[in-house]
Amino acid sequence: MKTVATAPDCDDCDVRSDSVFADLPMMVLDVVNTGKQCKHYQKGDVIINEGTYPSHLMCIHHGKIKLLKLGSDGREQIISLVKQGDIMGYRALLSGETYYTSAIALEDCTICSIPKETFFNVVRSNSRLAFDMMQLLSTELRESQMKVVEMAQKSVKERLAEGLLVLYQTYGLQTDQKTLAVTLSREELATMIGTATETVIRLLAEFKRQKLVEIRGRNIKILNYNALLKTANVDD
């Protein structure tokens, strides 16, 4: 990890339009811009440690990140995925609790950190941002509840198909418009959907035989989106 010499300016940030700060007045953006610090993380770096207290709100300027929780047996469970324009640590920051998950870079990342007090002052003075934060928390709660239901009611095959669709919806595709723009190991896919690595390997081979996907190493190409959607048993 290293501090970025020239931090991206909030006024000209190319991902701000995708973030909760999209509609902030320039005067407020200047306050955020003055207080923030940007750092570069390499693939595999630990950005957040579960169980520690937050001191900043983290904004993803560039990169892909996984949020995970360690079980009592030491095995990791991927809770969610984060992309550029997203923010991290806001739930722990707002509740005054420790981080519920750890955050690890899936690729090289640039993250801008806003000091806690700066963030709180901005939220207090901007009702639109406060409302957007409430919406974000509500969405996160709904998604967590849906995940619990799906883990209980869906088959592993359905969960894997849906997991691939989530990767597509979160990170998009490479320039060929078919290959997922993120690469995860078979172990990471397994922890994402709550199953054994061997099961993921077997099901991916089955998806390949059914011509739903094409697999080269960690690269997964979606060949039949509609069939994958049907396998996942979700609405488009």
127 with 169, same domain: the answer is no
pTM: 0.88
**30 and 87 fall within a common domain:** yes
**How many domains is the chain partitioned into structurally?**
2
Q: What is the CATH number of the domain that holds 104?
A: 2.60.120.10
DSSP secondary structure string for all residues of the chain: -EE-SSPPPGGG-TTGGGSTTTT--HHHHHHHHHH-EEEEE-TT-EEE-TTSPP-EEEEEEE--EEEEEE-TTS-EEEEEEE-TT-EESHHHHHHT---SSEEEESS-EEEEEEEHHHHHHHHHH-HHHHHHHHHHHHHHHHHHHHHHHHHHHS-HHHHHHHHHHHHHHHH-B-TTSSBBSS---HHHHHHHHTS-HHHHHHHHHHHHHTTSEEEETTEEEES-HHHHHHHHT---
Read off the pLDDT band of 6 (50, 70, 90).
Answer: low
Mean pLDDT of 165-194: 95
Domain span at residue 139? 2-143
**Shared-domain flag, residues 30 and 128:** yes
Q: Dig out the tokens for 17 from the structure.
A: 């339009």
Asked if residue 5 has pLDDT above 60, the reply is: no
% of the chain exceeding 90 in pLDDT: 72
Residues 197 and 111 both lie in one domain: no
Contact 26, 11 (CB under 8 A): yes
Reading the block at residue 143, the tokens are: 């998604």
Q: Over pLDDT 70: what percentage of the chain?
A: 97
Say if residue 119 is in the same domain as residue 26: yes
- More confidently predicted of 18 and 178: 178
- Compute the distance between CA of residue 220 and CA of residue 213 in angstroms, rounded to an integer: 7
Is the same domain home to 126 and 160? no
Please check whether residues 60 and 124 belong to one and the same domain. yes
132 shares its domain with 174: no
Residue 71 and residue 111 in contact, taking contact as beta carbons nearer than 8 Å? no
- Are residues 128 and 11 both part of a single domain? yes
Q: What is the pLDDT of residue 3?
A: 66
pLDDT of residue 76: 86
> Could you tell me if residue 149 is inside a domain?
no
pLDDT confidence of 220, banded at 50, 70, 90?
Answer: very high
Q: What is the mean pLDDT of residues 106-118?
A: 95
Residue 182, domain CATH: 1.10.10.10
| Boundary-marking domain end, from 89, 124, 143 | 143
Same domain, yes or no: 121 and 165: no
Q: Which of 143, 165, 186 is the last residue of a domain?
A: 143
- The reported pLDDT for the residue numbered 72 is 77
Q: Are residues 92 and 115 in the same domain?
A: yes
Report whether pLDDT(117) > 70: yes
